[in-house]
Every structure is written in structure tokens, then in C-alpha cells.
Structure 1
Amino acid sequence: MTVPYLNITGPGNILGPGIGGIDGAGGIGGGGGGGGGVFACGEDRRRGADKPEDDGTCTDTGAGGTPATNAVTRRTESGLGDLVAGFTYNLLDHKPSGLVFDITGRIKIPTASAARGLGSGKLDYAVQGDLIKSISQFSVFTSFGYRILGDPSGVIFHNVFYGAAGLGYKLSSTSLLGTSFNIGQSPLRLQDSRDLSVYFTHRVGENFRFNVYGLKGFSERSPDWGSGVTLRYVF
């Protein structure tokens, strides 16, 4: 279960990461925060919506039905994000080969403020598979998932696929350093998001996981950069 505190700087039509951000792809130890904010202007309200290269400038309404003049104004908002709860089931743990396969289900409960653009105000769901291969102190992983997204006011979101691949190094029995490359479809059928994250995870006792990450975006639909600190409780 994750309850993030967000600080977002960008155009007014950017929503908080929701189910695809801090708790996003990253199979090893709940790695980096793949995915950033979501550009939330309805497809039929974008100038040149039939052109994939369009800059997405709103001509009518933006996130939460706000006027376009507010939607594109750069702003900073902070506050509690959406609560994300997940359940992971281990389907394969083959010690001779070092192969592990987990499947995870997640639900995003809309606790973030939709009026301030910190969330969509709707329930989201996701299912994700993680395949991990351990080689000595290293772990190689790949993740693939599908998100079912609720529609914010005045915007139609498509459900999306996402994935990640990365490498982790076990510093000790309780600490892990890793990196992952994350990619995800746009819920508005715009350019895919792509980012590279680096993370450090430390197990505190049996139930707590401390995680620090940073990321760099590589597409127009990704954040320029991002960072975060999380403390998880694992049942």
C-alpha cells in the first residue's frame, strides 16, 4: 500500500501519476517510479487531434474541465496523492535456475485532489507480471502490465499497456541498487512515455521497505525529471 506526497511543476493540464507513477513498473523490490504525470486534454479538444505530432494544446477544456487558458499555464501543486493498494502472488520460484515470476493486481483509490490536478478523481486498476532472473548478486527483470483507467471529468481515457526492463544489484541481504527503462502507452493515444529510473531499496525489518528513486524522461509525454522517497508496508 502506497500513499504518496506529490509536488508537481508543469502545465495545468497535467494530472498526478496515479496508479502508474510511484508504484509503477519495476519488478525488483518495488523499484523506480516508472511513469510521470498524464497529459489530460480530451482528444476531440486538441488542435490537430488527428496528427500524432500535434503539441496537444487545448482549445476548449483541460484537466477536470478547466478552461484552456488555465490548462496550459505552468503551475506547481503539492499534496497527498492517490492511495494505491496492491496484492502480489508468486507463481514461480525456481531456485536452481534463479527464475521468479510474480503477478500483481493494483487498485488506485482517488484520494488526491482532482481540482488541483493531483489525480483524476476516479478509480484505476492494473494487473502486472514480473519475470526476474537472479545471477549471483545481480537480478535481471522485465515487467508487463495493463491499466484500466477511469475517465476524469470531460476527458476520455483509453486503457493502456506498459512495460519495463532493468537490472538490480544486491548490495547486502537487505539493500538493492537498480535501474530500469520504463515505457507506457498514452491514455490519449499520443506519444508513448519513456523514462529511465535509478533506485535504491532497503528492507527495514520484516514488513517495511524504504525506497529512493530518480528518473529522467525521454519523450514529450514524460516528465523532464522526477524523484521520490517511499516507505512501504508489506503484509
Structure 2
Amino acid sequence: MQITIQNEKLLLSSEKIIFWESKSALFLADAHLGKSTHFRKAGIAVPSRLVFSEIDRLKALIDEFRPQHIYFLGDLFHSHLNVEWQLFVNFVKSYPSHNFILIKGNHDILPESSYQIQNFTCEKEPYLLEKFLLSHHPLIPDELKKYPDTTNLAGHLHPGIHISGKGRNNLSLPCFAVSANQLILPAFGRFTGLAKIRPKKSDAIYAIANDKVIEIKQ
């Protein structure tokens, strides 16, 4: 689904990313790479295929949208170093003409040397990108006042919307949550949970149902 923010057209994808075509920029939040391996080491049964599936999704998105710049809005890697980080490093190196930018989140705790990849850079939040203010944690109103006429793109919350149907049919769906000066992305990682949000009536909610993005009327 295409929406317009700051007079710019943004594509919201059912793959839980945003594509800004005019700037050839792709945004995603909360990939939490490494989480499946972390859990497997702890003796929790997690399908081994999950180790590779998120990287495969990233490759498919680059092949589909052909962005020049890929922005990770925090929590790229879930925990301490494991085999999945090397898989990610190899992935980045396979796209030498692309720019990968990480806005560090609370889970991004790897040694600084781990991030020293030729076409990969780290930035602290908030990071101003023209009309958009990139962060991992959603900025509070007092912080947003310092950057007038911008929209904050953030993650961290893993937003989900609860939908009640007829009878006892209930459904929780990941969503993009849009307010006057903020857009919260759903968690990209599939091995993550959802946090139920309570949007205001003035907010716009775009839920992901199967392979579609649908607007939820409040």
C-alpha cells in the first residue's frame, strides 16, 4: 500500500518494510537476527531453517525493490555473536555497491569491530535523513520538538493490532502505526512477538494480513 508522508510517497510492504522509491531507500526494524540460534543454544526447539530464512528474505527484498540504501532501524542482531552474524556479514559483502546503515538499538551490543564491514555503517539515534528522523526507540514529543517539520520512523515496539470479529473470532496482526509526526514499523523478524497498541482515533493503522497491507478503520 502506498501512503504519502511529508509529500513523499512511501510503499508499505507486507514484508514489513517501507520503500522510499524516489530516494532508493528501504527501511526495516527489529530483524533480531541471531535469535533463533540463541534459543537453540539454550535448548529451545527452534527449526534450523529459521537461521537462513531471514537472510533469504533480505535478499529477496533487494532483488525485488532494488534499493541503493538499506536502513536498519535498530535491533538488527538479537544477542551475542553466533553463526548468524557471519551469515549476515557474507550477505552484506555480496552487495558491494549497496549502502547498509544501522541505527543502533538496545539489542545491538556486538563489539565495534564486528560492525566494520566495508559498505556497512552505524549511526546513533536520532539520525536525520532529509524529512525523516530515523531512530530505534519512538521519540517522545519533547524530542520531536527539536526537529520540526519531520516525521520519525522508528521500531522497537513490535506493534500489533487486535481485531474482533463476529462471535469469538479474534485476530492479532502486525501493523504500521502512523500518527501526526511518527511512523512505527512492525518487527521484520518473524521470530518475534507482538505488542498490542492502543491507537488514537486520529492515527492511521495499516495491518498486515497474509500478503496484503490493509488499512484498519477505527
Common topology (TM > 0.5): no
Higher percent of residues as strand: 1
Normalising by structure 2, what TM-score? 0.32
Normalising by structure 1, what TM-score? 0.30
Higher percent of residues as helix: 2
